Amino acid sequence: MSDDVLVERRGAALWLRLNRPERLNGLSPALVDGLDAGLDAAEADDDVRAVVVAAQGRMFCAGADLKYIQSLFSDPEDAAESQQGFLRRLGRTFDRLEAFEKPVIAAVHGYALAGGLELVLCADLVIASRSAGFGDAHANFGLIPGGGGTVRLPRRVGQSRAKYLMYTGETLPAAELADTDLVTRLVDDDQLVAEVDRIVASIAAKSPLGLTRMKQLSDDALAAPVPVGLRREIEVSVLHVHSHDFREGLDAFNAKRRPEFTGR
């Protein structure tokens, strides 16, 4: 594991904490590698039911480490290729996080800016403290998003508000985005970890297979016409009938007991 990402098991969740507080948790190759290693660990452990992305220090993530980005341009002839390599590496990890088969929760305190916001956009659920803030910020430095911001942000906050964040570079308080799909729940600062623990415990009591299939269906439906999504939902629901968890859920209901799901 990379020291740039601390991996901690809390109950049924694996917490991946960005750990470059001296650089405001700026995204670097080592940090991206640490996220990937954490996802490897979560994928390999059936007892891990959710992944939580959080951060050390006063800020969630200020975006890409601009000192690292600047170093890519030491040789102008290789600058474009180096930038493309970093963005593709970052994009692969962000895509993996977004499509991860287990629920992914972002626990956000402080600011999530630029690439930090793009990281948050890959989570299924975003639990934010009241002091948190979100901003695109690329325009403040003459940059443009390269980690999915122009694609994912409009889908979460709407096209107009996404353009406002991108054009102005402003940071909006989490409370101003609580009516969008970006912020799932807004909590008092001192309740952030407890609220995430509560949500994880609720998720852990459900069928892992059922949650994975619901996530896949929901995500796929965003890119498909409604009739196609509905047909696919029926197909997967019929397939799900053959699972252990489907039968266990009905047996537990009839026996008035808690179900014991296995993910099969």
Q: Flag the least confident range among 24-28, 78-82, 130-134, 254-258.
A: 78-82
pLDDT at 68: 84
For all residues of the chain together, what is the average pLDDT? 94
- What is the CB neighbour count within 10 angstroms for residue 188? 11
Starting at the earlier edge strand, list the strands of the sheet with 125-129.
5-10, 13-18, 50-55, 104-108, 125-129, 185-187
Q: CATH second-level architecture of 5-204?
A: Alpha-Beta Complex (3.90)
- The whole-number average pLDDT for the span 146-175 is 97
> Is the confidence at residue 250, as pLDDT, over 60?
yes
- Domain-by-domain residue ranges, the chain? 5-204, 208-255
* Helix, coil or strand: residue 140: helix
Question: Which pTM does this prediction carry?
Answer: 0.94
- Phi then psi dihedrals of residue 14, to 5 deg: -105, 120
Q: What is the pLDDT of residues 70-106, one digit of tens each?
A: 887 777 677 788 888 889 999 999 999 999 999 999 9
